[in-house]
Each structure stands twice: as structure tokens, then as C-alpha cells.
Amino acid sequence: MSKVTPGSVIDRALRETASEPERKPKMSAMARRRSLTGWAFIAPAAVLIFAMNFWPMIQAFILSFKTGRGNKLTLAEPLWYNYERLLHDDIFKQTLLTTLLYLIVQVPIMLGLAMVLANMLNSPSLRFRGMWRTAIFLPVATSLVSYAIVFRTMFGTDGFINDLLTKLHIIDDPVNWLGQTNTARGVIVLGLLWRWTGFNMILYLAALQNIAPGTHEAAKLDGAGPIRTFWSVTMPQMRPIILLTVIISTNGTIQLFDESYNLTAGGPAYTSMTMSHYLYEVSFHRNPNFGYGAAMSYVILLLVAIFAAIQVRLGDKRD
Amino acid sequence: MRNFRKGAVLAATAAVTLALAACSDSSSPDPSGGGNGTPEGNTLTVWAWDPAFNIAALNAAADIYKQDHPDFTIDIVETPWDDLQTKLTTIAQSQAYDELPDIFLMQNNAFQKNVINYPDLFSDFSGSDVDYSEFPAGVTGYSTVDGANFGVPFDNGTAIDALRTDILTEAGYTVDDFTDITWNDYMTKAKDVLAKTGQPMLSGQAGSSDMVMMMLQSAGASLFDADGNPTIANNDALTKASEVYTQMVKDGTFLEVNSWDEYIGTLVNGNVAGTINGVWIVGSIQSAEDQSGKWGMTNLPSLDGVSGATNYSANGGSSWAVSSTADVALAQDFLNETFAGSAEFYDTILPSTGALANWMPAGDSEIYSQPQDFWGGDAIFSKVVGFAGQVPANNTGVYYYEARDAVSAALTEIVNGADPATAFQKAQETVEFAMQ
Amino acid sequence: MTNTLRQTGRYGFLAVAAVLSVFPLYFMAVSATNDSQDVLASQLTPGGKLIENIQNLFAAQDVVGAFWHSTVNAVVTTVLALAVSSIAGYAFEVYHSRAKDRLMWVLLLAIMIPFAATMIPLFQVFAQLGLVNSTIAVVLPVIATPFLVLLFRQTARSFPHEIIEAARMDGVSELGIFFKMFIPTMRSAYVAATVITFLAAWNNFLWPKVILLNNDYQTMPMLISNLLSGYVTDYGALMLAVLITSVPTIILFLALQRSFVAGFTGAVK
């Protein structure tokens, strides 16, 4: 299961930014019993998360210090051999850059688009609101394998997109979308935009509907135009949810696998491949080098954690 | 009310879950000692892909085996190759060999990697009755490690040059003009066909090294030497092959498309004058029923100026492997009596699936020499069996996929203008890095 | 900018966004009514081949079985996930303590590692327990996710503590408070969690394909993978399968969408 559902670290930032009432520790017998009940409620989830996630993560960590192929694994000399090897791996470095490129390009566009759409859908004068909302959210409900097949067909040299663009005289010759580095990456970015903008839009919409209308009124009375109102009044109140979506999207993009695997197969020549996809290749497609793959996965974990920490540090401001 | 309902649903699903879990059977037959023992049971579990091809063949084989073993049953689990490889790797890494089926299908290219890394997945055929002299040496070579056989070849990957005879006629050529020729000759004729009919001779997935690999193998060359060292840089045949490929792309006689689906599209929608691929491509070609009678088949062009060049090659193909926890006696007997020993079996599957045998005695049968209407009355099947015997062997090795990927990447760069020597040197270094 | 111009701009933009969003789905639906050749030629108009595709698809694959298994997996996952994760999230908030905060942070680490790395050790766990090839194996790894726990923790933040205190004084048990008061009040959060969890479970591909080794448990995504792996792919049947796979999640969303938006509103507060 993709643990990186867009809602996934949603509340992480929410937790950071929402105020935390300090509770006075009452160590009465009643309170102690209640605290135990609390732990009892948490226990099933915590035990499961430990068994299903942490135990394998620990195994993977140990594995990252081993070399060898297949299941003939021995401790590496020196222990950090795999991590060092990553520094010399041209393909890994390529996937690292590509993944970061997706992050820098796709996330801002997607969130910007989502914000614009959410604002439009929030306007009371808009008609058919439910219809727009549903249409834009539908891509989120489609299965991954499904949309990859459809996109591949649509962006083929003989596919619909080329047909359309040629008919509209925007291009003369069919574009080789999936066969050139920049357009292949572009198709992945388009796929991500298509799939996740709706989700973020709904989040922003929910947040917008929570903003006190009084603040908008006040701004209008002060003579502020719509754009000024947006920047000075709306955005600051949206900060928590914006931080949320930034963190989720970052997490999801750094760990991106499905689009690279299904849409472009990492092509051409590894230039649209993401780190997680390369990890999968190293483990399952090539001569299996699980120690190396494990080291790669911990580098990914480190990147996600660092980005998340930076984002929380920067964005978590209490007004 | 609501919470009661929720509680009830919870309890119900918990109960269902436990029941489902209890019903699942995760054990498989005990491992046998292997070799010529007596079969332990009557059922074989097989993992294979493609219901129209491999699985249809399995069912036909089961029917034939049942003639002498009426209690026999077969349980086929449809598993795409990629997923099968993932499952095998997962099982081997977790040492959960009980989860293996009795028989599984495996791509020829993957045998070396799997047998060498995970020998505990397999039972070899040393104790079986399979007569390997009845299979072409080049094909059994894929599944042979240290002199022991680990697979029974099935799916024939012999390469063919399929041609649209109507387009050729329009340009003033026949199939014979493309038989036993060299690539230089082919390229000249291809340009002529393009000029006269507007059709490219070939199409293929951009970034796929299939075409170049076929050319390489036709000259008896490989990406690795006998000791397993990569021979990508300074590889005469490879360089020559990439030059041919690049030239054809430039001439417009090789149409590069972006996905497998598109490649098939060019064939069935009549956008190319031919294709060079393993004989299994026949199934896709024949799915365009409106093109019946308009196709012909011949052998491949050979590389000019390369010693050992031939007009024959292969692409793909797979073989049956027996797992280590299988009912080995039953599995090997089953395979021996059908895939490795029954002319009747091959006669049955040929018309219905188009599945060509690697098993040489099958080629002698009448069915193979029947004229095929789709191919203008040509007896293509016996033709291909003839080709198969002349395909040079090649070395794959455990790093085969790394090497193929590196060559694909190099090819993409070369098509975009890079110098072949530099590109292949880089590919060699990539593979050497992967081998550390 | 006049009002009409702004209106046109607004509706125009939305229309473009809506069309772009829906078009691939339209293509999918239309392709399901065409034959393989036409799909490859990107035909955009419906053909008459729907019945034929249905027949071919159902003959080639056990669609009913796969649909059933996918449904069972998704429903069981969703119900168990809501049960286990919501009570944990509730507890993290209502029985708040520093230790619990730290634990929440630690649990969040679990989503930061790519699944491909933990897949094999996880498989080993189930192999040793003898649970390979079972619904339990498919469901267990995904029912307690840090995300869901966090979602419910946030939701619990807007649950008034006065209600809890009042209930305690009335002698209601802790469990009773959770079942009788929290769940009914936070209905929209549960609906939101249902949609998200069901979506993820329904479309889950990587883990089921590794842990399910025989025909008894094949899911819809696995079925689609089967269709793609032959020498000859019937693209019409493939698109039909893809359509069938997408329909339940679309219907679920349509049915629950209003509550879905309100659910996140509650968490955002």
C-alpha cells in the first residue's frame, strides 16, 4: 500500500501548527488508570506499525551494511561500502537529480493550480459547483495502472495528443513524447498534475470554507481589491493547510515510483527514472543486490525527513 | 445504534477474515529427493503467463498426459513474467521455498541470473529422461549452468523477417530479394521501398536494444565473454550493428515508437512494410485479420564485414523449470512426455496457438509443412524450425539485464548523435560498476 | 475587467480543467467499446464492440473472482483500519502526554521509506507465520498507518472535552465514550478516512502481487497485469478491465463526496 497517500502526512503539519493545550498532570489513581486505558487504545495500532513497518525497516537497515548478490550476503568492508558506492553510481545520481527536478517543478505548479481552482470553487456566485468539483477530483479515484496505460496510449507518437496538436496546427510533425528526455519527464509531470491537483484542491477548499468571512469583509471595507485580499487576508490563514500539502507532496514526489515504472519505464535511458524505481530495478530486475537497494532506501528516507523538517521549521509559525 | 452497527460490522468482518485466513492453504508438497523416483501425487502447480500461448499449451499438454495418467490434474496460476521474477526473488531471499510451485516458466535470458544467484530454487534435470540432443544447443545453452540442465526449452524465440508482400510488390521486390542478404543490401532496398511506397521497412521501440541484440547474436557475438567479463566496448559486431540501426533511423526506414503498444499498432494498422523479431510476433501480426495473405517470411540480413556473421538469430523465448520443492519425478515425467517428447502435443498446439517448438523432432511432422494462408500459402512453420537449428549461441550471464540496459542507453545516445565508441565505453563502465 | 469577461474567464478555466480531468476517463470508457486495433489507432468514438470485449475479457480472466477478492480486501482493510487507527488517534489526543507525542513522531518515520525496501523482510515475516496467500497477509500491513492515526488524532482535537467529562460523571466507560460519543460525532472524518483507505486498498498492487501466490486470491490490478503480459494484448478487453476496476472507487467518491470535504474541514479546524 502506498503509505504516501496525499492525506498521509497531512496532519503532521497540522499537528505542528495547531495549538497544543498543556494539560496539568494529575497523578490521581483515576488519571493513571485513564492513562493506561489510553495506552491500551494505542497498543493495537502501535504494535502493528512496529511489526509491519519498523521490523522490516530494521532488517533493511542491517541489510544496507551487507554486500553480495542474491541471498549470499556478507557484512561489507568497510560497513558503509554501499553508501559510498552510491556516490559513484552515475545512474543513482541521475535519478536523484531527476527526482529533485520533479519535486521543484511539479509541486509548486500543482499546489498553485489547486489553490486557484479552490478559490474559484469557493466563490458563492459559481454555479454547478458540485459538477466542477467532481470532475476535477475524478482523476484521484482512478487506479494507477489504468491511467498509466491511458496516458501512454494518448502520448504515443501515433496517439491522440499528437493527432490533436497536428490538427490544430500547433505542431507539424508528431512529437516523440516518451522518447525524448525532456518531454518524457514532462509527461510524468503532467500525469502527476492530472492525478493529484484535485486532491489538493479539495483540501484547500475545505480550508477556505473555514476562513472567517468577517476578515474578507474587513478587507473590502478597507478598499482592498480581490488580489490584495487574497495575499494579505486569505493566504496567511491558509498557511497551515498549505504547509500540509507541501509536506505531503514532497514526501510523495521524493518516493515516486508508480509513474516512473508504468508511464515511461524510466526511459529514455534512465533519464526519467526516479530513485524508488531504480531501487526496485537493482533489487528485482537486475542481478539482485539487496544490500545496495537497502542503502538507497535509507538515503531516500533521509531526504524525506530532511525536507519535512525544513518545511516544518520554515512554515510552522504561530500567529 | 451507529456504534452498535459498527461494532457488528467489525465483528462480522473479523470473523470473515479469520475464516478466510483459516481456509487459505499455504503449504505445498514436501520436497522429494529428486531424480527418477516415483511421483508422489497426481497434481502439478504451474506458474506461467499468457493464456493464449503458454497456458493454452499447458492445458493441451495436460490433456495428452492424461491419456496415460487419467488421475492427473494441473493447476495453472497465471503470473506475468515480471511478477513471477519478483515472486521468485522474494521467496528465495526469504528462504520460503515451500511457496514455490512445481513448475514455472522462465525467460531464457533470466536463467543464468536466477540459477547462479538462487540455486536453491531449482531442481536440475540430471535425473530425468529428457533427451537434450533433441533441442538446439544454442537454446539449451541458456538454461545450462556448469554443465547441468535447468530448463526444458519451449517457446521458440527464433528471429524472423516478416514482410508485407503487397508493399514489396508495389516497390518492385519479392521476398526472395530479402533472403540471405546483408544489412547494406537491406538498407538500400529499404530506402527504395520508402521512396516508392512511403512505408518504413521496420519499426521498434525507441530505447529498446532488441534489434541490435538480434544483430549481435546473428554474428555469434555477445555482451560478455566466456569468463563473464563485459565485452561492450571495442565490440566489432556491436558497433557495426549500432551503425546499421542509426543509419536506418536517419534514413527513415526504421520507425522508432515509444511503447510496446505503439509498436504493435504499427503492425496491425499497416504503418510498416515489415518487422524483424522473434517468431512469436506472428500472433500479433495475425490479429489483423484484414491483412491475411499479405505477409511473407524469410531470414535476417547478416552483418557486413563481421566475421562469423549469419542470417539467423533469436529474441526471447522461454523454458520450463522445475522447482526445488516440487514433486520432481512427476514434473519431469510430465515435461518429458509432452514438451520434450510428444509430436502429437506440438501438432495440437501449433494451429491453435501458433506456438512453435524448439523440440526438433516436432518439425518433421506434417502440420509444420502445411501452407499458411495468412502468409501467402508459405509453410512458415517448417521454415522457422529450419532457421532455429542455425541460430548461433550467445553468452548471457548474471549481469545480462545490466548489460542490455546499458546498451539501450548507449544506443539512445548514439541515435541522438553521440560517438559510438564513446557511448559503448560508457556502457561498459556502467556495467563494470554494476558488477562491483 | 468587466464582470462578463471575468465570468467567461472563470467558467472557461474551470471548463478546461474539468475537460482535461475527465478526458482520459472518457478515452478509457470509449476504448472499452472498441476492438484492439481501433484502440491502438486512438479511436475516440464508441464502437460496437462492447459485448465482444465483455465476452473476451470474461473468457480470458476470472473477472468476477478478482472483483470479489478486490472487494473483500478493500472492505476488510477499510473496516479494520478505521477501527484500529481511529481508536489509537483518539487516544493520542484524549489521553495526551509527552510520551505519546514522542511516540507519534516515531511512528511517522514508518511512512518515509520506500516499500520496495521493506517488502522482502515483510514477506519473510508472513512466510514464517505460514500466512502467505491469505487475506490476512494482504490486509495486516496496511490497517495501522501513521497517516490514519494522525488524521484521527487531529479530528479528536475538535472533540469537546466537556462531553467527555460529562460522560465520565455519568459513569460511562472510556470505551463507551469512544463508541457512543466520539464515533457518531466525528462521522464525516470517518467518511473521509473510508474513501481514502478504500481507494488505496482497492488500487494496491505491489504487495498483493508478492504475497498472493495462487489463483484463489487474485485481485483486479493483478488481473490487469495479466492482460498486459501476453504476446498479443487485446486492448479493447484491457480498457474494459481498467474501466471495471475504476468504477467502484468513482462510485464511492460520488456517493460520499460531500461528507469527504466536511471531514477534512473538521481536521483542519
Nearest to A209 among C42, C85, C265 (CB): C265
CATH number at residue A153: 1.10.3720.10
3-state secondary structure at position B164: strand
CB contact under 8 A, C25 and A10: no
Domain that holds residue C143: 63-223+248-268
Subunit partners of chain A (3 or more CB pairs within 8 A): B, C
Contact B86 C210 (CB under 8 A): yes
Q: Round the CA-based radius of gyration of chain A to a whole number and report it.
A: 24
Percent of chain C residues topping a pLDDT of 90:
16
The reply to whether C51 touches chain A by the CB within 8 Å rule is no
What sign for the dihedral angle of Cα C98, C99, C100, C103?
positive
Which chain C residues have a beta carbon less than 8 Å from that of A145? 203, 205, 221, 224-225, 242, 245
Mean pLDDT check: name the lowest of A52-56, A148-152, B10-14, B158-162.
B10-14
**Residue B424: pLDDT above 80?**
yes
Residue C164: inside a domain: yes
Q: What's the start-to-end Cα distance of chain A, in Å? A: 37
CA distance C31 to chain A (A): 10
- Higher-confidence residue of C191 and B419: namely B419
Q: Determine whether the interchain pair B26/C83 forms a contact, defined as Cβ–Cβ distance below 8 Å.
A: no
- What is the pLDDT, as a whole number, of residue A285? 87
Neighboring chain B residues of C49 at a CB cutoff of 8 Å: none
Query: Which of C61, C210, C231 has its CB closest to that of B90?
Result: C210
What per-residue confidence (pLDDT) applies to C264? 52
Residues of A in contact with C124 (CB under 8 A): 59
**Domain spanning B159-315+391-435, CATH architecture:** 3-Layer(aba) Sandwich (3.40)
Q: B43-156+317-364 adopts what CATH topology?
A: D-Maltodextrin-Binding Protein; domain 2 (3.40.190)
Out of A91, A155, A158, whose CB is closest to B265? A158
The pLDDT-based confidence of C171 (bands split at 50, 70, 90) is confident
Question: Domain ranges in chain B?
Answer: 43-156+317-364, 159-315+391-435
Does C100 map to a domain?
A: yes
A103 φ/ψ angles, rounded to the nearest 5 degrees: -60, -50
pLDDT of residue C258: 67
pLDDT given at position C261: 58
Question: What percent of chain B clears pLDDT 70, i.e. is strictly above it?
Answer: 92
In a domain, C87, yes or no: yes
Q: Does residue C240 belong to the interface with chain A, where contact is any CB pair within 8 Å?
A: no
A interface with B, Cβ–Cβ below 8 Å: 69-72, 85, 88-91, 149, 152-153, 155-159, 176-179, 267-270, 283-288, 290
Query: What pLDDT score was predicted for residue A48?
Result: 92
C150 touches C157 (CB < 8 A): no
Cβ <8 Å between C112 and A305: yes
Contacts of A89 in chain B (CB under 8 A): 433
Kindly state whether C210 is in contact with chain A, defined as any CB-CB distance less than 8 angstroms: no
The count of structural domains within chain A is 1
- Contact between chains at C140 and A251 (C-beta distance less than 8 A): no
* Mean of pLDDT over chain B: 86
Interface membership of A48 toward C (CB under 8 Å): yes
* Interchain proximity A156–B265, CB inside 8 Å: yes
The pLDDT confidence band at residue C267, using thresholds 50, 70 and 90, is low
Q: Is residue A45 part of a domain?
A: no
Burial letters B75-108, b for 16+ CB under 10 A, else e: ebbbbbbbbbbbbbbbbbbbebbbbbbbbbbbbb
pLDDT at C259 over 70: no
Which of A72, A90, A269 is nearest residue B408 as measured by Cβ atoms? A269
Reply yes or no on whether the pLDDT at A317 is more than 80.
no
Domain extent, residue A309, equals: 7-11+86-315
Q: What is the pLDDT of residues C74-90, one digit of tens each?
A: 999 999 999 999 999 89
* CATH number for C263: 1.10.3720.10
Closest C-alpha to B279, from B160, B383, B139: B160
What is the pLDDT averaged over residues C119-125? Answer: 89
- Report, as an integer, the average pLDDT of A271-299: 91
Grid coordinates belonging to A233: 487576508
Percent of chain B with pLDDT over 90: 52
Residue C47 maps to a domain? no
- Cell digits for B400? 545480462
Give the mutation candidate from B84, B91, B112, B259 for the A interface (greatest A CB count, under 10 A). Answer: B259
Indicate yes or no: pTM above 0.90.
no
Best probe of the A interface among C4, C16, C19, C21, by most A CBs < 10 A, is: C21
